[in-house]
Amino acid sequence: MKKKFKLSNLYLVVIFIILYVPIFYLMFYSFNSGGKMYDFEGFTLDWYKELFQDSRLLIIVLNTIIIALLSAGISTVLGISGAIAIWYVRKVYAKNFLLSLNNVLIVSPDVIIGASFLILFTFVGIKLGFTSVLLSHIAFNVPIVVLMVLPKLQEMGASLIDAARDLGASRWDVLSKVVLPYITPGIFAGFFMALTYSLDDFAVTFFVTGNGFTTLSVEIYSLARRGISLNINALSTLLFVFTLLLVVGYYFITKRNARPIGLGARK
């Protein structure tokens, strides 16, 4: 029994090593003055310096951030409305059906989503570029926000709304003074998740971008194809660290959610 336990631990460790070693390898050589992914010659920050002097790259970074913030923001608004709509559905099977539709969008492969958006955009005649990327990011972010917000709504229970109505609140008051404040932690969690998904999305963006508009992940891909420069390593390192920060932020928000209600969302 004990041996088996150890074996499973070992398995986990091996998996994590396999997953993380390439990333750390890549990060490690971003500090290599030798300019190659082997033979570590000496520590340097030159690749980072070069990165920050490359104005084209900086614009791409800016694009990526704008797309992430805009799509996360817009999809948060849409996702909240969607979650509230699903929550209001009284028939159980209709509710489950809507929820399944939502979840299918989350689990379906990015390639399929990207390809279908490409077809849609060319069909409708939307020029590939900023708009098409933004629209598709919103599209794959909305289900994520719905999934984050809905449990909070379900946890709220109908009696709070009854109480608000009883105290004289109009429908708008109920929404703005009770429902939204209550689900705020869920909204934040949804927003952060959407942000991370948008920032590191490659497949969907790759399909629907065009006319010179790129985001970081697509750019890294094309740089990597062109040939090895440790620029890419530096850029990937920064991206990795940034995503890590987002994950940590998300962790703290969800931890706050788990606390007893009332402590979490102070006015």
Partner 1 sequence: MSTSTIIRFENVTKQYDNDAAVLDNVSFEMERGKFYTLLGPSGCGKTTILRLISGLVEASHGKIYINDKLVNDVPANKRQVNTVFQDYALFPHLNVFENVAFGLRVKKLKNADIQKKVQEALRFVNLEAYENREISEMSGGQRQRVAIARAIVNEPEVLLLDEPLSALDLKLRTEMQYELRELQRRLGITFVFVTHDQEEALAMSDEIFVINKGKIQQRGVPTDIYDEPINRFVADFIGESNIIQGKMLRDFVVQFDGKEFECVDQGFNPNESVEVVIRPEDLEITTKEKGHLKVKVDSQLFRGVHYEICGYDENGNEWIVHSTKKAVVGEEIGLYFEPEAIHVMRLGETEEEFDARLEAYDDQGVENGN
Q: Total residues contacting partner 1 (rule CB under 8 A)?
A: 24
Site for partner 1 contains 89 (CB under 8 A): no
DSSP code per residue over 146-213: HHHHHHHHHHH-HHHHHHHHHTT--HHHIIIIIIHHHHHHHHHHHHHHHHHHHHT--HHHHHH--TT-
- Residue 171 CA to residue 247 CA, distance in Å, equals 36
Nearer to partner 1, 2 or 267 (CB): 267
| Piece in contact with partner 1 (CB under 8 A), picked from 70-78, 124-132, 137-145, 256-264 | 256-264
DSSP 8-class letter at 91:
S
* Residue carrying structure tokens 């010659």: 41
Nearer to partner 1, 109 or 157 (CB): 157
- Residue 263 CA to residue 267 CA, distance in Å, equals 10
Site for partner 1 contains 169 (CB under 8 A): yes
Asked whether the beta carbons of 137 and 201 are under 8 A apart, the reply is yes
Site for partner 1 contains 163 (CB under 8 A): yes
Q: How far is the CB of 267 from partner 1 (least distance, A)?
A: 6
**Beta bridge partner(s), residue 43:** 32
- Residue 267 CA to residue 262 CA, distance in Å, equals 10
* Residues 180-209 contacting partner 1, CB under 8 A: 181-182, 184
| Piece in contact with partner 1 (CB under 8 A), picked from 66-74, 104-112, 135-143, 173-181 | 173-181
Site for partner 1 contains 164 (CB under 8 A): yes
The 3-state DSSP class for residue 44 equals: coil
Instruction: Find the radius of gyration of the CA atoms of the chain.
Output: 23
Site for partner 1 contains 160 (CB under 8 A): yes
The 3-state DSSP class for residue 32 equals: strand
* Residues 56-75 contacting partner 1, CB under 8 A: none
Site for partner 1 contains 258 (CB under 8 A): no
| Piece in contact with partner 1 (CB under 8 A), picked from 33-41, 60-68, 129-137, 168-176 | 168-176
Asked whether the beta carbons of 192 and 252 are under 8 A apart, the reply is no
Nearer to partner 1, 169 or 203 (CB): 169
Nearer to partner 1, 168 or 227 (CB): 168
Q: How far is the CB of 196 from partner 1 (least distance, A)?
A: 26
Please give the residue ranges that form the binding site for partner 1 (CB under 8 A): 159-160, 162-170, 173, 177-178, 181-182, 184, 260-263, 265-267
